A and B are shown apart, each in its own frame.
Chain A
Amino acid sequence: MLKDITLGQFFPGESIVHRLDPRTKILLTILYIAALFVATGVVAYAIMLAVLVVCVALTRIRVQSIVKGLKPVVIIILFTAILNIFFTAGETVLIQFWKITITREGVVRAAYMILRIVMLITGTLLLTYTTSPIALTDAIERLLSPLKALRIPVHEFAMMMSLALRFIPTLIEETDKIMSAQKARGADFESGGLIRKARAMLPLLVPLFISAFRRADELAVAMESRCYHGDKGRTRMKQLHMAARDWIALLLGLALLGGMIVLRVFGI
């Protein structure tokens, strides 16, 4: 059933990574990605990989889940690999047939590229696997709150995001119901070419849209009835606290980035 899909898959847990403040995790992910782009050379990549493996182990999430998360990117990885293997000019030629030249440099370059993409995606997966969507939205709102001084509607944006997240399962359920009802009148969502299928979507999309507007209206009235009046004077029940482990983790992240910069500068 459609209802069983969870977006941005979150695996609840009690590992130290889970217990980090979500803001820490977002910043660490940014630091890691920055470090990835700075890193050059075998030593650097080995360190980055080691760090990643340690983090994955710390989260106690099953490796199969990580691999599953990488599946959508397999095509990109393959494409990048092929581009680099076949089209890199270099000195040491390994294989040559027809017009195609495979150089050692090409293979090496491809290997680095693949590793980088895998580490990038895995690093991001670790973030979404260990942090619930609400925690993420909360963290983003608080990290961006200094921008409120610049009249940027950070609170409104965060409210929209958390409402959207809240309603995803409800809307999926409703889509299910509308589809069943239209199928019961002979609607066919499967057969036909692209245009036919698009037109067949009308009996599904129109009721969904209308219903979404009605929901929004009722929800707004319910929110106002509960004294919602924007950000002014609003407090939060759940407070985010930076504990010692958060600061240590951030320091380590900065150290990693610093280390990559040093390695690159000194050509190691």
Chain B
Amino acid sequence: MSDAIMLRNVAFRFGKEFAIRDLSMSVPTGAIYGFLGPNGSGKTTTIKLILGMQEPEDGSIEVLGHQMPKAAPQALARIGYVPERLHLYASLTVDEVMRFHQAFYATWDATRAEELRRQFNLRHEQLVSRLSKGESGKLMMLLALATQPDLLVLDEPTDGLDPVVRRDVLSALVEYVSARNATVLVSSHLVHEQERICDWVGVMDEGRLVAEMPMHAFRSGVKRLRVNGAPPVLPAAPFTLLGRSPVAGQEEEWGVRGWQPEMQSWLEAQGATLRETIDLDLEESFVELLRTSRSGGNR
């Protein structure tokens, strides 16, 4: 399976404070790729690099087979983009925005656009500046979907939306993806939402990609172990030790990835005893991952 988005060793500096260093990521074609990360972790900047709005200082970016930002217009013609905040011209009406957008896309599906407009309860004459947050989100999704893109790039598409609107937007998205087999890169810090729709996940923190894997691996892969009597220095383990922290006496809590029950014998060989294995949900896994990545833990 080829990759719809491929970043190789990308470096980018934004001001003195923030930088993306040596970023490599791949979004498989047809995947719904959840791009997770706390606020300010670099998700939006990475998306802007992917869309060719910013130029990387180093590395290469390929989107739908096009080098970015050199071939941005060709790639953008096949991309539907929903940014974090409303980016449309405020003084235009819904109808005018649709007509403006249509002028730039040969693939514009007017019938589908009209269906979505009705489905989203948007009125033709409504001014963009008067739209509520939910209506703005729906309009941006409408524009993205009506261009029939091969790749949808959604930056916090449901952030701040009420549950009803959120469901409308997500169902329109899922419906489109299932019908077209399109690739979706959806950035969010709402982990549970990602868990429902994504089949791939990438976690970004402080300008680095700290994990990238299929969702099922991510969901089941991170566990917390309560271990007693482990020596301070351990030889190479058959699992990934994300971090260890003392609890009481000789007891410690370990964050691990790739744990299997049969690995208990390795622990015992080190003179340690496994007291408990705790399954983590996606959010806890996410937090554990960030915690260990920030403390420079062993991955």
Partners in one complex: no
